[in-house]
Amino acid sequence: MTLAVFVGSAAVAWLFLFPRLASLGPIRDRIERLEAASIDGDALVVTDLDERLQADVKRRLVSN
Amino acid sequence: MSEKQQKPAPIGTEDLWAIGLGGGLLAVMLVATAFAGLDPVANPLARGVAKPGTWINSPVEGLSLGIWAGIFTTAAVFQGLFRTAARSLTPGLLGFFPAFLTVFALATLAFVLGGQAFVKSLSLSYPLFAILAGLAISNTVGVPRYLRPALRGELYIKTGLVLYGGELLLAELFALGPPGMAVAWLVTPVVLVATYLFGQKVLGIESKTLNVVVSADMSVCGVSAAIATAAACKAKKEELSLAVGISMLFTAVMMFAIPAVAVGTGMDARWAGAWIGGTIDSSGAVAAAGETLGEEAAAVAITVKLIQNVLIGVIAFAVATYWVTVVESAEGRDRPGLGVVWERFPKFVLGFLGASVVFSLVAAYAPAGEEIVTAATKTTKTLRAWCFCLAFVAIGLETDFRQLRGLLAKGKPLVLYACGQTLNIVLTLAVAYVMFVILFPAS
C-alpha cells in the first residue's frame, strides 16, 4: 500500500505537476536559456556537459 | 568433506574485476575510435550505447527508437559482463539475469525521472532518484529474494570510476594557469582536511568514513567525489546515500543563492566564476549558475570545476592511502608494513588513476589524440553513468531507512556540511579575489 502511494504520487508529480511547472513563465525562460546555452542542469561532472559547451569554454580560455 | 570445503574459490577480487571491466571497455572504445578513420573522428560503437534523454510533458519525448536500441544493447552487454564477474566472485551464483534486468529497469526509471526538464533545471539528477527508487522498494514491500544476485553496488561503482578515469585528462589541471590552480589546488584540500578535522574534533562524528565522505562531497565536486571517496575508504552504503542526498539539497539552493549574491554585489565576472566553480557541488549547477553571470563567468566556473574533477583521482588515492596506513592501523592494529598496506589498498584506485594517465598520454601525444579521446569518452561517459545509476539503485535496495535516520541523529552530518561549506565559500571568495582581481586581473 505504501509503495502504491509512492508510485502514485511520483506519477502525478512527474506527469502532471512538473510539466505544468516547466511551462510557467520564469521557469520556462530558465529552461529555454539553459537549453540554448547547451547546459545540462543535471550534469554530475564537467565531462557530462555538452561537447560544444566544453569546446566553447576551452576556446574562450585560450583567447583570453 | 563438508559442503563449505567443496565450494570453489572465487576467481579474482571485486577490484580486479572492476579494473578489467572498466579498462576493457575503455580500451575497446579507444581502439574502435582510432581505427574508424580520422575524417571525421567518431566512435563506430557509439550507437550501441544510450540512456533516456530530456523530456518536458511525456517520458516518450526522451525515448526515441534509437535510444531504446542503445539502452537494450547496453543492458545486454552489461548483463554479460557483470554476470561473468558476479559468477567468478561468487561461484555457483544463479539467477543473475532476471535480477540484473530488474535493477537495470529501475536504473532506466531513475534516468527518466531525472530527465524531466523542470527537475533537471534544479540540478536534481539520476543518483538521487536511483537511491529513492531502491529505498521505496526496500522499505515498503522489501527486496524480493530473486534480486539479491544483482545487488553488486560496489562492483558497479568501481567499474564506473575506472571508466571515469578515462575522462580525466591531467593537462586540464593547468587549464586556468596559476589563478585556477590556487583556487582548486589550494582551497579544495584545505577545506577537505579542515572539515574532516572539524567533524572529528568538534562535532565528534563517530563514523570516520561518513565524516570523510561528506567532507569530500562538499569540498571537491559533490556526488562524483563522494562516490570515489566512499569506495576508497570503504564507507557504508547508507553513508554514501546520505552524502549524495545532502549534496543535492544544498546544490539546489546554492545554484541560485551564489549567483544572486555575485550579481547583487557587482562582482568581477572571473572572480564570481571562480567562486561559483569552487563552491557549488555539481557541474550542471555550476554551468547553470555561471551562465546567469555571462559567458566569461561560466567559462571560469566550469574550468575551476573541471580542475576539481581531475583532482578526484588524487584525492581518492590520498584517502585510500591514509585509510590503510593511519585509520585502520589505529583501530587496534599495529602500524602496517608495506605488504599489508598493499593488501588492504583498494586496487581499483590504481585502475582509476591508470586510465586517467593512459588517456592523458593518448590525448597529448597520439596523432589526432585529443579528438580520438573525446570521441571515445563521449561513449564511455554514458556507460559510466549507467554504472553509477545501477550502483545507486543497488545501494537504495540495500539501505534500511532506519539506518539513514540513525546517521542523521542530532543532524551532525548536516551541520558538518553547512560549516564546511561556509568555510569553503569564504576561503574560495578570498583566494579567488586575490588571484583573479589583484594578482592576475583580466587584461
> B37 falls in which pLDDT band (50, 70, 90)?
confident
Counted across chains A and B, CB pairs separated by less than 8 A come out at 131
Does residue B388 belong to the interface with chain A, where contact is any CB pair within 8 Å? Answer: yes
- The answer to whether the Cβ–Cβ distance between B306 and A22 falls below 8 Å is no
Residue B32 has which C-alpha cell?
574502435
Q: List the 162-181 stretch of B: residues with Cβ below 8 A of A.
A: 164, 167-168, 175-176
Residues 6+ apart with CB under 8 A from A13: none
Q: Give the pLDDT confidence of B163-220 residue by residue, as tens digits.
A: 999 999 988 888 778 888 888 889 999 999 999 999 999 999 999 999 999 999 999 9
CA distances from B261 to A44, B272, B329, B379, B389 (A): 24, 9, 45, 38, 34
Q: Give the pLDDT confidence of B42-59 residue by residue, as tens digits.
A: 899 999 999 999 999 999
Which residues from A are below 8 Å from B175, CB to CB?
Answer: 58, 61
In the predicted model, is pLDDT for residue B352 greater than 80?
Answer: yes
Q: Residue range A1-27: average pLDDT?
A: 93
Q: What is the mean pLDDT of chain B?
A: 91
SS3 content of chain B, % helix, strand, coil (to 5): 80, 0, 20
Q: How far is A63 from chain B (nearest CA, A)?
A: 11
Pick from B53, B140, B159, B149: which is nearest to B102 by CA? B149
The full 3-state SS of B184-205, as one line of letters, equals HHHHHHHHHHHHHHHHHHHCCC
User: In a 10 Å sphere around its CB, with 0-12 CB exposed, 13-18 middle and 19+ buried, how is residue B401 labelled?
Assistant: middle
Q: Residue range A19-30: average pLDDT?
A: 92
Chain B interface test: which of A44, A49, A61 (most B C-beta within 10 Å): A44
Consecutive H or E run containing B5 = helix B3-6
pTM of the predicted model as reported, rounded to 2 decimal places? 0.92
Residue B409 has which C-alpha cell?
541523529
pLDDT computed for residue B161 by the predictor: 94
CA distances from B181 to B115, B188, B281, B309, B436 (A): 33, 10, 18, 13, 11
Q: How far is B332 from chain A (nearest CA, A)?
A: 38
Three-state DSSP at B336 gives coil
Q: How far is B300 from chain A (nearest CA, A)?
A: 8
